[in-house]
Amino acid sequence: MQVYAAPASTFVAGFIGSPPMNMMDAKVTASGQAVELPGGTEVGIAAALGGGRPIKVGVRPEHMHVNTAGPLNVVVDLVEALGADTLVHGRIGGDPRVARQAEGHQPAVAAGDRLPIGVAPEDLHVFDGESGARLTPG
């Protein structure tokens, strides 16, 4: 569970968990307190990093919450009802993403919908953009 909660690299993050962690190219803002995703969306991070560097941000599907104030917008492609969970397959900025919603905690969603997604800063995994090594504490 420690490896799942704090993978040491993008390589490890990619094969621990199902569905796998969502990975996005990003950069640290000048302040070092947030990350900027493609398209300019900024999301706060739990630990300050050196500003301007290219990074990869990882988010587990269960940490992507439908939130009316969420800074990320997912365009829904497919809704997969699995009983206790529902997987929402969609795209952020054209790249595929998966969100997992627990039963009773998801709104009615259909293909073509746009969902605002929120992610808590402590649920972001930040990795070096070149080496893939973890940059945030685990």
pLDDT tens, position by position, 89-108:
999 877 888 988 877 666 67
Q: Is residue 135 in some structural domain?
A: no
Q: Is residue 136 in some structural domain?
A: no
Q: Which domain holds residue 8?
A: 2-128
Does 69 score more than 80 pLDDT?
A: no
Q: Is residue 134 in some structural domain?
A: no
Res 49: pLDDT = 83
85 beta partners: 102
Does 78 score more than 90 pLDDT?
A: yes
Q: Is residue 137 in some structural domain?
A: no
The number of distinct structural domains making up the chain is 1
Q: Is residue 7 in some structural domain?
A: yes
CATH of the domain at 88: 2.40.50.140
Q: Is residue 133 in some structural domain?
A: no
The predicted-structure confidence for 21-49, as pLDDT tens digits, reads as follows 999 998 888 888 888 877 778 888 877 78
Task: Kindly state the greatest CA–CA separation across the chain.
Answer: 43
Res 65: pLDDT = 82
Paired sense of beta strands 95-102 and 125-128, if any:
unpaired
Q: Is residue 90 in some structural domain?
A: yes
